[in-house]
A = this chain, B = another copy of it.
């Protein structure tokens, strides 16, 4: 098998990183923002909280008034007011005064700390004794301590998590500018394929990749669309791809495990637009016969026919575009780290991705046990919890060595 322009995974990703897929933006209500990618920086126009706020039930005071207070020598202050939850603390706390205040209440002007109710004793209706000093700012969230006005609180390219929705609510941003999800067309090629809802004639197998890739695209935040099984014929493939390109931002073509089919795919891509095929083959196992291409601002990936290979290569090449991550950087922001339980051989000069089952060792360490089986077997990917990465420059790993594992 001759492959031309074979790149390492890192080279392939760096090559792709020089290209961008054009993406529109839209504005959505905050409650529809989860997992969407911000198209612009978000600057807070307000401070949170908008006032000094008590974190305890107790009394607002001036810290200097009760300096040196002790069980044996309480500091006596006059109860001069009461803060009502959710209302403005109108008035001024004069020297020697205390105001009753609930957790979350607004400190009156003049106060700079809160004494917990546990460290006070009521002398009469108008006077309390305080048995412990407080430092200025103690038991207080200061105005703007959570968010300062004018601050960039979230940056363009960030994918919104639940806590980000909370932060946006806090500063009153109820509509958010986000990138439109990437539309991804999915094609399967291969004369041996048949649809899952049909009986399987002898010599055929069902299309697996369209469904696994559909799930992967959805999971990454893209909008998948299936184009079904396409004949390994230049004109048929080209016609379907022209249509899919018109309707999507990215195309995934999987299958075509024979050399002839792969060549057809590459030749078709090169007729679709510029610059065309960027690489054809990667130094990776599984997933060697992969194609990366850009066609007039849209991405086209030729993925291997084996389901495990297709899923691994999808994650390395296509997923970063859909999630709007920096493809030239790390393969994954925070992979799990696990200890291999066995020696595993891998050839130097290529990245190996090994299906593994994870379990917890006695001290809590994650242990990675290889799942055996050919990369054509989808059942091995179902049995696996993830894949371990054996890097380019290593001749395998030994039992006891640490590896990065990505959950799948």
Query: Which of B49, B174, B366 contacts A205, CB < 8 Å?
Result: B49
How many residues of chain A are within 8 Å of chain B by beta carbon? 101
For the complex, give the distance between the alpha carbons of A214 and B154 in Å: 19
CB atoms of B364 and A404 under 8 A apart: yes
Given A55-B374, A163-B382, A174-B197, residue A105 in contact with residue B192 (CB < 8 A): yes
Q: Is A273 in the interface zone, CB < 8 Å from B?
A: no
Give A399 Cβ to nearest chain B Cβ, in Å.
17
Residues of B within 8 Å of A257, CB to CB, are 103-104
Mark out the residues of chain A between 106 and 159 whose CB falls within 8 Å of any chain B CB in the assembled complex.
106, 141, 145-147, 153-154
Copies in the complex: 2
Q: Most chain-B Cβ atoms within 10 A of its Cβ — which of A85, A202, A219?
A: A85
Give A349 Cβ to nearest chain B Cβ, in Å.
19
A380, closest chain B residue (CB)? B146
Q: Is A164 in the interface zone, CB < 8 Å from B?
A: yes
Mark out the residues of chain A between 7 and 55 whose CB falls within 8 Å of any chain B CB in the assembled complex.
30-31, 34-35, 46, 48-51, 53, 55
CB atoms of B88 and A203 under 8 A apart: yes
For the complex, give the distance between the alpha carbons of A336 and B104 in Å: 34
For the complex, give the distance between the alpha carbons of A73 and B363 in Å: 57
Q: Is A185 in the interface zone, CB < 8 Å from B?
A: no
Give A173 Cβ to nearest chain B Cβ, in Å.
8
A35, closest chain B residue (CB)? B219
Residues of B within 8 Å of A171, CB to CB, are 206
Q: Is A264 in the interface zone, CB < 8 Å from B?
A: no
CB atoms of B336 and A85 under 8 A apart: no
Give A88 Cβ to nearest chain B Cβ, in Å.
4
Q: Is A407 in the interface zone, CB < 8 Å from B?
A: yes
Q: Is A259 in the interface zone, CB < 8 Å from B?
A: yes
For the complex, give the distance between the alpha carbons of A162 and B214 in Å: 7
- 6 smallest beta-carbon distances between A and B, as pairs: A162-B215, A166-B212, A88-B202, A86-B191, A169-B211, A86-B192
Other than the given A164-B215, A166-B211, A172-B196, 9 more pairs (CB < 8 A) read A50-B202, A86-B192, A88-B203, A106-B203, A166-B208, A169-B208, A334-B336, A334-B385, A337-B366
